[in-house]
Amino acid sequence: MVVFPKTFSQLLVMRRSSLRAVEVAMDSDRTVVVVARRDQQASEVTAEGLYAVGTEASISRVLRLPDGSAAIWVQGQRRVKIAEVIPQDDLFRARVFPLVESAEKTTRSDTLMRAVLALFQKVVDLSPKLPSEVYIAAANADSPGWLADLIVSSLEIPLAQRQEFLEVLNPMDRLLQVSHFLAKELEVLELQSRIHTQVKEEVDKTQRDFLLREQVKAIQKELGETDAQTRETNELKEKVQAAGMTELAQKKALEEIERLATVPAASPEVSVIRTYVDWLLALPWKAQTQDNPDVAQAGRVLEENHYGLRKVKERILEYIAVRQLAKENLRSPILCFVGPPGSGKTSLGRSIAQALGRNFVRVSLGGTRDEAEIRGHRRTYVGALPGRILQTMRHAGAINPVFMLDEIDKVGIDFRGDPSSALLEVLDPEQNHSFSDHYLEVPYDLSKVMFIATANILDPVLPALRDRMEVIELPGYIEDEKLRIAQRFLVPKQLKENGLASGQVGLSEGALRRIIREHTREAGVRNLEREIGSICRKVARRVVEGKPAPHVVSATAVPGYLGPQKFFWGAAEEQDEVGVATGVARTEMGGDTLAVEVTLMDGKGNLILTGHLGEVMKESAQAALSYIRSRAAALGVDPKRFERTDIHIHVPTGAIPKDGPSAGVTMATALASALTQRSVRKDVAMTGEITLRGRVLPVGGIRDKVLAAHRAGIKTFVLPRKNENDLTDVPKDVRQSLHFVFADTMEPVLESALLEGTALHAVGDPD
């Protein structure tokens, strides 16, 4: 064995040399060096067969035994290293030197000691071999090394590992090793405990079930009743025939019921068959709700519950109108709402169900990685169940609910299959009339279900799945829309939730606008609702405390409730500058302006790009520079200047990733300004992709970008000519307040953005 410092151990001494060493020690200073042997099977002890590190121990008690051996009680003092072993006639003497370890306690050591003690307490509670006094002793250890040695001495660890542990001088390293030992020991003990509990419960349950069955049989025999199992199968057959199942499903159910009648009551197969039949009976096969045929009433419901979202409302009203004409021949649409968080996708599904008069059910697909979540498990598996599609149809209670597949873009894929591929059959109008679930193994009709999927972005969605859905984009709300939503929905809702009467307090229009501009930055209204709720809670507290509460919260009072301004939207440049052009970008929170800065330095023609730019944006910068170099003569720039000048392009807010080709014209304009020393107009913003020939190609997000430019105080907005039709989505008052320049090439862009200077030639001019 291995003796550790500051621990008490009982040793059985049998070897003559060891007994002699004990006698000599008792006659002098009562200390010995306790050291383990390398080879436990060796018959003779040699100096080479001993480990180099042992423990100096003091002998506290010696008990002579009748067979000549002795039991001694020792207390470890300190670690020592053997420098030299000096064999004598009847004992071993050794020259040793103590191994000093650090006793300093730190915050890290205290934390680790607490963690190790917590593990040790769990091990002591579960282990039948460790008394509670061992934990009490460990809890009284006041140093990391002492605690580690005390715990290891109480655990069943092989001698070689104990010796390795003894030779570790750093107390923190020993504590870490102890934590690993305890973690493994705890895992084994917990497994043993679970197995013991499980076995005991199964034995008790089997005995109980047997006794109860025997009692039931005896009671039925005395009463002269028919066999309960036969009566149960007859009832199940009647339910199956009245459920309105398809012919194939009814045949399958009756076969399973017949099999149930032949299986012994004590067999585990009984519960499997019964669960399967119960699932067939629980699913709706014919029951359906009556659709609301009143288009006007449906329109009013949608308007009452949601502000804006014109395209979505039109699509639902079109479906109701066509439903009246097509009757039963119409297939339910499969819609996909795509938009930023908080734009009302999920709540819109509830409103659609209310407008149609249908039941609403929802399944969240976020984080789903197992195909069996959609199609179910086969009945060969223990505890098998249908997939979430049919489980939700059971809750719907009708074959034509509004079925929302939430967060379809968050579906994952791993070794258990691809749930997106399993959804292909669900969302295909040509196939979902006979949807096959692995558990049921009979076709189920989903063609009357109105599926609505939601996603924040479409890119992660499987292309084949995307093709089966009618995608409707829900753009982020503009400021006026957020204001109307807050006035009509959010403020009354928060007043009610916080116990305030509708006339007790209100928020002025200026206050709401200030909250929208300075305290939220989002495309939806989720954070706006939180901020309104925060104000309502503070007002409610003032009311309860008896303090005067404002009847109307004004714009100037908002910082007192919500603190200083949190967000700062992009604004137009304060003055015309050289090498700085204003672009616009679409973010998850809507549109925003961004400046593109260009500076020139003496160098060797290098192009430096900074600002956390993506690969596409870097390529746009390269294309813009190549275009400017090809037009150097027309711009009045010395072509040789590029060879001796380093160009640095920077897009501020460098912590935010940026990508996309729409900043191409902005970079080209900033480059032209820096090289020609012509200032860029501060009230001009632009967007568009640039080609090497100077063509301006269309880009996306025009609505959000125009709104961002308008909010920043821009007067002139330059955009590709092919994006002109996209302005129909921009509010009329915004369109009227901006001057739009439509460009096919870079010449109109530069003419609109750069102040007067060197004349520009058209593309293709020989000069």
The phi-psi region of residue 241 (left if phi > 0; otherwise alpha if psi is between -120 and 50; otherwise beta) is: alpha
- Catalytic residue chosen out of the listed positions 332, 662, 673, 679: 662
How far apart are the C-alpha atoms of 708 and 685, rounded to whole Å? 10
DSSP one-letter string for 411-434? ---BTTB-HHHHHHHHT-TTTGGG
Token pair, residue 2, equals 């291995």
Task: Specify whether the backbone of 718 is left (phi greater than 0), alpha (psi in -120 to 50) or beta.
Answer: beta
Long-range contacts of 39-46, Cβ-Cβ distance < 8 Å, separation of 24 or more: 40/159, 45/15, 45/17, 45/92
Tokens of 328: 């039963």
Distance (Å, whole) CA 234 – CA 208: 28
Paired with 337 in beta bridges are 454, 472
Q: Is 705 a catalytic residue?
A: yes
CA distance linking residue 171 with residue 181, whole number of Å: 15
Whole-number Å distance between alpha carbons of 495 and 743: 50
> What's the rounded Cα separation, in Å, for the pair 94 and 84?
6
502 counts as catalytic: no
CB atoms inside a 10 Å sphere around CB 351: 23
Distances (CA, A) of 137 to 124, 133, 199, 234, 492: 12, 6, 34, 68, 63
Q: How far apart are CA 447 and CA 246, in angstroms?
A: 14
- Three-state DSSP at 728 gives helix
CA 7 from centroid of its chain's CA atoms = 49
Of all helices (H) and strands (E), which one includes residue 355?
helix 345-356
State the CB neighbour count (10 A cutoff) for residue 240. Answer: 21
For residues 53 and 81, is the Cβ–Cβ distance under 8 A? yes
Q: Which residue has the tokens 């003559």?
A: 16
Sign of the Cα pseudo-torsion (481, 486, 489, 490, in order): positive
The continuous run of DSSP H or E covering 40 comes out as none
Measured CA to CA in angstroms, residue 588 lies from 477, 522, 634, 657 at distances of 11, 7, 39, 12
Question: CA geometry: angle at 34 spanning 33 and 40, to 5°?
Answer: 140
Phi, psi angles (nearest 5°) of residue 436 = -110, 120
> Residue 589 corresponds to which amino acid?
M
Please name every residue paired with 204 in a beta bridge, in sequence order, or none if there are none: none
Task: Tell me if 278 sits within 8 A of 385, measured CB to CB.
Answer: no
Please tell me the distance from the alpha carbon of residue 463 to that of residue 459, in angstroms, as a whole number. Answer: 9
Quote the distance between the C-alpha of residue 510 and its chain's center: 37
Question: What are the backbone dihedrals phi and psi of residue 718, each rounded to the nearest 5 degrees, phi first?
Answer: -105, 130
Burial class (CB in 10 A: 0-12, 13-18, 19+), 526: middle
Catalytic residue from among 252, 313, 482, 705: 705
Joined together, the tokens standing for residue 532 give 């309104």
Active site residues: 662, 705
